[in-house]
Structure 1
Amino acid sequence: MEDIKNIKYLLRDINIVRKKFEEREKNEDNFNMFTILRKESDEVYLHSRFLSALLDPNGPHRLGTIFLNSFLDKIESDFGYDEKSLEVYPNNQNRSEYKEIDICFIDRIAKKAVMVENKIYHEDTNHEDKGQLENYYGRLIEEDKIPEDGIEVYYLTLDGHEPSEDSVKLSGKYPKLQDKVKCISYSIEILEWLRVTVKECYNKPSLRESIIQYIKIVENMTNNNTSEDEIKEITSHIGMNEDNLMSAKLLIDNFDHVKWHTTYDFCNELESELRNRGFEILHKPVEDDITNLVHGGPIKRKVDMAYIIEKGNFPIWINADFDEWIYWGICNDKEEEIKVPKALLPKIKQFASENSDFEKEEIWICWRYLGDNENDRICLSDFSCNGTFRLISPQYRKMIIQRLVNEIEVFINKVLKY
């Protein structure tokens, strides 16, 4: 009990620090043109385009190869190029991806290339017979005649995690690829590189301010937006005495257990709420899935959690894919054992076509994320997400679960009226 009491005192003190800095932040200028025009997670139209605009020696910054060279240095690249024969995609004249590669540098004379696959929250888009990175890598070899030894492959994510095994070796056509992929992150390489680029823009205020605003987006996405002053004050409170030190250690040592119990309680409470509302559970995660998700190693923890529920012969899929926000909708996969009744399909398709709140994608007739904005959304594998972390609160879990089930019930009722 003494340990719990000490933790309460420590959290009370840190809560005071948090509120003080939140109050200070309210008075700061937080206007950001990027987030006004694009979603923070927009890989293609925000992140890839802005990064490539800086990397392109012929870009609107008019600073030549300064940014490109510092980037290559930061990621420890061996890419040598001739500026006269270098091509960077996307660029100011051609804003499209090069053969679907997010960011690409090619020197056709030197027969060298760098491909950067940019992943914010999405998983790899693999085909039945070929992985995503295999596909892009193969195009550079077969269509552009770049030898394998002349290609560098970078996988850019928020935290530097690896691509899926299928992405690099599903076809087995390029055995060298798996060892060639270098993982880089927004939280380390990109942030450090951007902070260097700002110093090169001392006499270009518009460019400097744009990079500063973009840095704030990256800091927010990677949870690097805590100020140095705030970190110092939190550190001071933790190190103030032995009780605070041991309380902080107790929290850190047990946080994986907190995540497991939070995920377990969320799944159990969701199932209970669904049954209370008259849904039949056709498929659900098992306890081993939760254990692997929280305590598993780099491969074992990549668990996709899924529910298939049904009410009145109306099936609904609720998915919590690894590294993806929870979403729900109607899946029309021919390989699924559970099928959507033929009589329902036209109604669902008509509803989806008339409602912009729902997306359509491949086997999904319609789907949408749980949560109105990115700050509310839940990724069960990532407790650094605000929405996921809040699930620790029983009151918040109850509210989120009721919102999810309410959304599904409203959706079913509306579709059936068509």
Structure 2
Amino acid sequence: MEDIKNIQYLLRDINIVRKKFEEREKNEDNFNMFTILRKESDEVYLHSRFLSALLDPNGPHRLGTIFLNSFLDRIESDFEYDEKSLEVYPNNLNRSEYKEIDICFIDRVAKKAVMVENKIYHEDTNHEDKGQLENYYGRLIEEDKIPEDGIEVYYLTLDGHEPSEDSVKLSGKYPKLQDKVKCISYSVEILEWLRTIVKECYNKPSLRESIIQYIKIVENMTNNDISIDERKEITSLIGMNEDNLLSAKLLIDNFNHVKWHTTYDFCNELESELRNRGFEILHKPVEDEITNLVHGGPIKRKVDLVFTIRKGEIPVWIRADFTDWLYWGVCNDKEDTVKVSKEISSKIKSFVSDNNDFTQEDIWLCWKYFGESDNEKIYFPDFSEEGTFRLISPQYRKMMIQRLVNEIEAFINEVLKY
């Protein structure tokens, strides 16, 4: 009981610090054009394009190779090039990826290349007989005739984690690849590089402000958006006395259990709400799946939590995939035991054609992410996401579950009108 009281005191004091800095932040200018135009997690159209625009010596910044050389130096690259024969993709004239490679530098005269695979939240898209990085690496070798020793491979993620084993050696065709991949992160290499190059833009206010706004996005994605003063104050508070130290340790030691109970309660409470609203539960997550997701190792934790429900003639899938935010929709997979009638399929297609909120692709007749903003989106593998973390609160969890079921009910009612 004494431990609980000490934690309450610590949280009360941290809450005072948080509110003080929140008040300060309210008076700051937080307008950010990037987040207005694109989703923060948009790998291709936001991050890869903006980074390549900076890296391209012929880009609109008009600063030549300054940014590129700084980047190569920061990632400790051995890539040597001639500016006259260098190609950077995407670029200002061709905004497409080069052979699906997110960011690519090629000097065909020197027969050298750098490929950067950019991953924000998604996992590698491997094929049955070939991994993703193997596929891109092989194209540079076989189609562009770049020798293996002339290719550098970088795997860019938020935290610097490694690619999947299949991505680099599923086919076994390029045994050197696994040792060649260098892992870099937004939280370290990209942030440090951006903070360096912004100093080069002292006489280019538009460019400088664009980089500063992009830095804020990266800081937010990598949980680096807390000010140094705030971090120092929290650190001092935790280290103030033995009780605070032990209370902070108790919170850290038990946070995995908090995540498990939050995920478990969300699934149970969602099931209960669905049943109360008259939905039939055809499939639901089991306790072992939640345990593997929270406590499992690198392989076991790759769990997708799936509800399959039905009301009347319309089945709905609610999915919290390991690689994506929570989303829901209607699936028409021939291998699934739950079938969608032709009549309902036709109604859904007509409905979606009139509603831009939904997407149709592959086996999905329609699907959409749950949450009105990125701050509300739910991603159970990462409780540093605000929308996921807030689910710890029973009141917030209840509100979000009710909103989710309301959305699905409204969708079913609208579809039946077609």
TM-score, length-normalised on structure 1?
A: 0.95
1:122-146 per-residue CA deviation (whole Å, 9 max, x = no partner) reads 3333344443323322221221111
- The corresponding residue for 1:264 is 264
Q: In the alignment, is residue 112 of structure 1 matched against residue 112 of structure 2?
A: yes
- The corresponding residue for 1:282 is 282
In the alignment, residue 193 of structure 2 is paired with which amino acid?
A: W
Within a 5 Å distance, the mapping from 1:285-304 to structure 2 comes to 285-304=285-304
Distance apart, 1:335 and its partner CA: 2.3
- The corresponding residue for 1:354 is 354
In the alignment, residue 72 of structure 1 is paired with which amino acid?
A: L
1:253-298 per-residue CA deviation (whole Å, 9 max, x = no partner) reads 1111111111111111111222222222222222121111111222
Question: Counterparts of 1:148 and 1:210 in 2: how far apart (Å)?
Answer: 36
Secondary structure, counterpart of 1:84 in structure 2 = coil
Distance 1:130 1:265, change over 3 A: same
Distance apart, 1:368 and its partner CA: 0.4
1:50-79 per-residue CA deviation (whole Å, 9 max, x = no partner) reads 111111122222222221122122222222
Q: In the alignment, is residue 306 of structure 1 matched against residue 337 of structure 2?
A: no
Within a 5 Å distance, the mapping from 1:120-269 to structure 2 comes to 120-269=120-269
- The corresponding residue for 2:30 is 30
- The corresponding residue for 1:340 is 340
Question: Counterparts of 1:106 and 1:115 in 2: how far apart (Å)?
Answer: 9
Distance apart, 1:32 and its partner CA: 1.7
Distance apart, 1:37 and its partner CA: 2.5
1:105-134 per-residue CA deviation (whole Å, 9 max, x = no partner) reads 001112111111212223333344443323
Question: Counterparts of 2:185 and 2:336 in 1: how far apart (Å)?
Answer: 35
Distance apart, 1:170 and its partner CA: 4.0
In the alignment, residue 407 of structure 1 is paired with which amino acid?
A: E
> Alignment RMSD, CA only?
1.7
Q: Is the 8 A contact 1:326 1:369 kept in 2?
A: yes
Question: Counterparts of 1:161 and 1:341 in 2: how far apart (Å)?
Answer: 43
1:204-231 per-residue CA deviation (whole Å, 9 max, x = no partner) reads 3322222111101111111110001111
Secondary structure, counterpart of 2:342 in structure 1 = coil
Distance 1:123 1:202, change over 3 A: same
- The corresponding residue for 2:94 is 94
Secondary structure, counterpart of 1:343 in structure 2 = helix
Q: Which runs of 5+ in 2 are unaligned?
A: none
In the alignment, residue 119 of structure 2 is paired with which amino acid?
A: K
Question: Counterparts of 2:108 and 2:245 in 1: how far apart (Å)?
Answer: 58
Question: Counterparts of 2:172 and 2:275 in 1: how far apart (Å)?
Answer: 45
Distance apart, 1:343 and its partner CA: 2.2
Greater alpha carbon shift after TM alignment, 386-395 vs 239-248? 239-248
- The corresponding residue for 1:103 is 103
Question: Counterparts of 1:39 and 1:154 in 2: how far apart (Å)?
Answer: 24
Distance 1:343 1:169, change over 3 A: farther
Greater alpha carbon shift after TM alignment, 388-397 vs 199-208? 199-208
Question: Counterparts of 1:141 and 1:366 in 2: how far apart (Å)?
Answer: 39
Q: Is the 8 A contact 2:122 2:323 kept in 1?
A: yes
Distance apart, 1:98 and its partner CA: 1.2
Q: Is the 8 A contact 2:378 2:387 kept in 1?
A: yes
1:334-381 per-residue CA deviation (whole Å, 9 max, x = no partner) reads 222322222211111111111101012222111001101111000000
Question: Counterparts of 2:258 and 2:331 in 1: how far apart (Å)?
Answer: 32
Distance apart, 1:186 and its partner CA: 1.0
In the alignment, residue 238 of structure 2 is paired with which amino acid?
A: I
Q: Is the 8 A contact 1:323 1:382 kept in 2?
A: no
Greater alpha carbon shift after TM alignment, 120-129 vs 249-258? 120-129
Q: Is the 8 A contact 2:293 2:302 kept in 1?
A: yes
Q: Which runs of 5+ in 1 are unaligned?
A: none
Question: Counterparts of 2:330 and 2:128 in 1: how far apart (Å)?
Answer: 22
Distance apart, 1:299 and its partner CA: 2.4
Secondary structure, counterpart of 1:212 in structure 2 = helix
Question: Counterparts of 1:187 and 1:138 in 2: how far apart (Å)?
Answer: 29
- Identity score, percent: 86
Secondary structure, counterpart of 2:156 in structure 1 = strand
Question: Counterparts of 2:285 and 2:39 in 1: how far apart (Å)?
Answer: 31
Q: Is the 8 A contact 2:313 2:344 kept in 1?
A: no
Secondary structure, counterpart of 1:25 in structure 2 = helix
In the alignment, residue 331 of structure 1 is paired with which amino acid?
A: C
- The corresponding residue for 1:81 is 81
Q: Is the 8 A contact 1:123 1:324 kept in 2?
A: no
Question: Counterparts of 1:311 and 1:327 in 2: how far apart (Å)?
Answer: 18
- The corresponding residue for 1:14 is 14
In the alignment, residue 158 of structure 1 is paired with which amino acid?
A: L
Greater alpha carbon shift after TM alignment, 190-199 vs 35-44? 35-44
